[in-house]
Amino acid sequence: MNEPFRQRRVRIGALTVALATLFVVAAARLAIVVLVDGPRLAEIARSEHTAVMTLAPVRGPIVDRNGAPLALSAETRSIYARPRRLMRHSTAADRARLAMALGLSDAELEARLGRGEPFVWLARHLPPARARAVAELGLDGVGAISEYKRYYPESNLAASVVGLAGMDGQGLSGVELQYDRLVRGQPVELEFYHDALGHPILDSPLALRAAEPGARLELTIDSSIQAAAENYLAAEVAKSGARRGTAIVLEPFTGEILALANAAGAGVNGDERLHDTAVQDAFEPGSTMKGLLGSIALADHVIAPSQMIYCEDGQWRFAGRLIHDDDRHGWLNLGGIIEVSSNIGAAKIALALGARRFGEGMAAFGLGHRTGIDLPGEAAGIIRSPSEWKPIELADHGFGQGVAVTPIQLAVAYAAIANGGMLMRPYVLKAAYDSAGDEILSHQPQAIRRAIPPAVAHQMNLLLRNVVSGKDGTARLARVADFTVAGKTGTAQMVNPSTGGYYQGRLVASFVGFVPADDPRLVILVVLYDVAHGHFGGLYAAPVFSEIAAAALDRLGVAPPQAPPSYDTASLVPFGSDNAREPVALRIADSPAALAPEQSGGGIPDFLGASMRDALALARARGLTLEIKGHGYVVAQSPAPGRNSGAAGVRLTLADDPAVIAGADLPHRAHPERRENRFISRFARRMRP
């Protein structure tokens, strides 16, 4: 084999090996591309012609208990830009016209486009006319999408309760935040195809799905009562020079909030939609604590209603401190202490109770603990452990100094006195409904605990009436025409946070009460913050209570009670009239003697502890004739419960005297468990829909 031929074969062999190697490399690369990188590359290819759009849902409406809208959503257009594309396909004159249509200056528009971002918002929630003006420019790189803007048709009505929704549809405060997951609905992400220029292809699934609208929230708020509370409160804040004020209207047997109003004074900055003073701020309750103190002392048998306490003629030095009253008082019983609002009397009762029992009593009323109201940011108040109280602090706590409570806590505590002793959880959401109208959430009255026995609640009810109607009462301006009012005034010094002491000329004036006192329908609290010296709760907060109560009772259609007839001699009450009141069904699981006729076997029911109204209704349901003496609540009956009535009627003795209600020596007197059942029956009727 000659040399040239051998060299040619070597070159051919080397070329063959090289080609084979390249083939193997190409095959391996192909395998890697197909088997390893295939899914990633396919995704990249799809992404070149697909896009994702998030469709925001319509935020659900918020309405009051009667269906009046408090928050709605309206469709708007929001304008965005792809800066690079816009800059490539537009002139300076085009962008100047765009800026004019958007209501921006040329410099503002150029600044937004020059951020180097691939996507920028140019304007959010534009009205339709302005959005059309932008669309008519036809600029490449400018687009628009539909969004929903939250607006409040009643302006700031119930602003603290309803709250605020942000630009992107998220809840920021109030019910808007508390129930954000329900009211905001379910957004939908849509993947659609587009051509090389980015235009959607019409057969993509873009129009095949819609976002799920948010739930409709129905509140316990009554717009009419809310408006009255806000108007009267704002007027008094302006008149008194208060820095701010709060008013709460509460249904005592259910815990429903009918109105919750906050008002700011002149020159005070603050957004009611972002901050709720009634729930999020604490204040020293002052003499409103005395109604709770008296209830705790009665329940703990530390004091009797008739027991006399010496009030030191208006000045008492204790533990190196001077405690004083606004007037000189000598010997007073519990009713007198509450009526004239004696600090000295309250301090002595607190000392007799002791720190532990007083602290436990306040905790039973919910003070120092969140009420559980369904609004965000609730404060717990400030009450230190009773083991840390010094004797002078215990005395001060008796008249509401040195402790801090929230307005909602104080209102709920007095609601327990009004409803017979049950602490109810307050709430503002009545029910929620989905887009189909089906109920997805509802709130029912929830009893947290028993704060005081029913008999004690009734005793305190009677004593608190003297604060308003007594000759020395501090809240005569809280009277409501034709109705009996029970309540308590409060005036407390404001704490100076820089010194830890008290301002001498800056006060918190308050009044809390319930009406009608003989059948409570409303608990109303009014607090005026940072008023000048001399602006007492009875002079400034009590009149607001009266105005709100009158408007609310009229709104609810509560008729004034008829003047009680004279029962000095026993009289017969027949039940044959067609106009007589329909019977009230009693639900008393623990009192068989008071069950409905079909459950009791026809015997005489147990009337003990019932009001005259309930006694009349039950007697009519049984076809009985009553002989009634006195007025108030039944303290004795003859014949005894369970016996056959025969042809004779039933004789009832009624009384308003706390000592009699508590079980004085009368025939067939009400045992504690029976009195408990009577108040439970009234509580159960209030809770029924």
pLDDT digits 0-9 by tens, 472-525: 999 999 999 999 999 999 999 888 877 778 888 889 999 999 999 999 999 999
> What is the chain's alpha carbon radius of gyration, rounded to the nearest angstrom?
37
Are residue 169 and residue 255 in the same domain, yes or no?
no
pLDDT of residue 270: 65
Is 287 a catalytic site residue? yes
* 562 is a domain residue: no
What span, in angstroms and rounded, lies between the C-alpha atoms of 46 and 192? 11
Are residue 202 and residue 331 in the same domain, yes or no?
no
Last residue of a domain, one of 529, 556, 583: 556
DSSP class of residue 222?
-
Are residue 232 and residue 209 in the same domain, yes or no?
no
* 277 is a domain residue: no
Are residue 442 and residue 376 in the same domain, yes or no?
yes
Per-residue confidence band for 190, with pLDDT thresholds at 50, 70 and 90: low
- Contact at 8 Å (CB) between 513 and 464? yes
Count of C-beta atoms within a 10 Å radius of residue 354 = 15
Classify strands 142-151 and 69-81 as parallel, antiparallel or unpaired. antiparallel
pLDDT of residue 55: 61
Q: Which domain holds residue 427?
A: 223-267+288-556
What CATH number does the domain containing 339 carry? Answer: 3.40.710.10
Per-residue confidence band for 199, with pLDDT thresholds at 50, 70 and 90: low
* 561 is a domain residue: no
Catalytic residue chosen out of the listed positions 287, 342, 510, 681: 287
Q: Which of 84-98, 290-304, 454-468, 614-628 has the lowest mean pLDDT?
A: 614-628
* 80 is a domain residue: yes
Q: Which of 23-27, 247-251, 381-385 has the lowest mean pLDDT?
A: 23-27
Six-digit token pair at 334?
């519990």
* 566 is a domain residue: no
What's the one-letter identity of residue 338? I
- Contact at 8 Å (CB) between 506 and 514? no
* 283 is a domain residue: no
Are residue 262 and residue 389 in the same domain, yes or no?
yes
What's the one-letter identity of residue 671? H
State the SS3 of 517-555. CCCCCEEEEEEEEEEECCCCHHHHHHHHHHHHHHHHHHH
Are residue 110 and residue 248 in the same domain, yes or no?
no
> 3-state DSSP call for residue 350?
helix
Dihedral of CA atoms 196, 198, 201, 204 in degrees, nearest 10, equals 120
Count: domains in the chain: 4
Tell me the whole-structure pTM to 2 decimals: 0.71
* 593 is a domain residue: yes
What span, in angstroms and rounded, lies between the C-alpha atoms of 159 and 525? 18
Classify strands 626-629 and 650-655 as parallel, antiparallel or unpaired. parallel
Per-residue confidence band for 572, with pLDDT thresholds at 50, 70 and 90: very low
Are residue 358 and residue 483 in the same domain, yes or no?
yes
* 72 is a domain residue: yes
pLDDT digits (tens, 9 = 90+) for 239-260: 999 999 999 999 999 999 999 9
Are residue 258 and residue 119 in the same domain, yes or no?
no
Six-digit token pair at 586?
């009693």
Mean pLDDT is highest, among 479-483, 494-498, 558-562, 652-656, for 479-483
pLDDT digits (tens, 9 = 90+) for 391-426: 999 999 999 999 999 999 999 999 999 999 999 999
pLDDT of residue 495: 82
